[in-house]
Amino acid sequence: MILLSLFAAVAHDYRWPIPSAEDFARFDFIGVGPDHPQPSFLAIAFEVLSWSAFGVLARSEYYVTRLIIQHRSFKTLEVVSKLVGDFAMGASIAIAVVALLRSTEFVTLSLKSAGIDVIAAISFILGFYHEDTRQLLGTFREKLEQETKESGVEGD
C-alpha cells in the first residue's frame, strides 16, 4: 500500500510524503489540464484502483483490529493472503462498477461527468464494502438472466 501511495503521489506530481497547498489545489485526474480537460479511461481506472485499494486496506485494518480486541489468534500469512484476495476482488469490482456507471445512465445514476472527488469517494466505498457490492452484482446478474429467459432472448 505504501508503494501504491508513492506511485500515486509521483503520478500526480506531488511532493511526497507531504504535499504542498498548491498540490492540493490542483488535484485532479492524471493527465487532465488545459489541453486535455477530460480524463482518459486509464486515468479513471488508476484513480479507482488507488482509492478502492485504500478502502480495502481500511476494511482489512478494521478486521485485524476486531480480531485483536476480541483476543482471537490469527496467522499473519492468512491475513496477508486475505488482504491480497480482497484487494483483487475490491479493485476489480470497483473498476467494473465505475466504468459501467461512466459509460451508461442506469436509472438516474451516472458518473459521466463526475469529478475526481466523486470517483474517489465511490471507489473507496466500493473497496471497503466489496463483499456487499459483489452480492448486489450477483443479484443484478440473476435478474438479467431471468428477464432474458422470460423474453426468449438467449445467447449461443
Confidence of residue 94 (pLDDT cuts 50, 70, 90): very high
91 has pLDDT over 80: yes
Cα distances (angstroms) measured from residue 97 to each of 4, 110, 145: 21, 11, 18
Flag whether pLDDT at 7 surpasses 80.
no
Q: Which residues contact 90 (CB under 8 A, 6 or more apart)?
A: 52, 53, 55, 56, 59, 126, 127, 128, 130
Reported as a pLDDT band with limits 50, 70 and 90, residue 77 is: very high
Task: Kindly report the backbone phi and psi dihedral angles of residue 116, in degrees, each rounded to the nearest multiple of 5, phi listed first.
Answer: -65, -30
- The answer for residues whose C-beta is within 8 angstroms of residue 146's C-beta and 6 or more apart is none
Q: Output the pLDDT for position 13.
A: 64
Grid cell locating 142: 440473476
User: How is residue 36 annotated by DSSP?
Assistant: -
Query: Which H or E run contains 98?
Result: helix 76-103
| Per-residue exposure over 96-128, b if at least 16 CB sit within 10 Å of its own CB, e if not | ebbeebbeeeeeeeebeebebeebbebbbbbbb
110-125 pLDDT, tens digit each: 777 788 888 888 888 9
Tell me the pLDDT of the chain averaged across its residues.
Answer: 80
Residue 148 confidence (pLDDT): 80
Give the model confidence (pLDDT) of 29-75 as tens digits: 777 777 877 888 888 888 888 889 889 989 989 988 998 999 998 89
pTM of the entire predicted model: 0.68
- pLDDT attached to residue 19: 66
Nearest-angstrom CA–CA distance, 65 and 96: 29
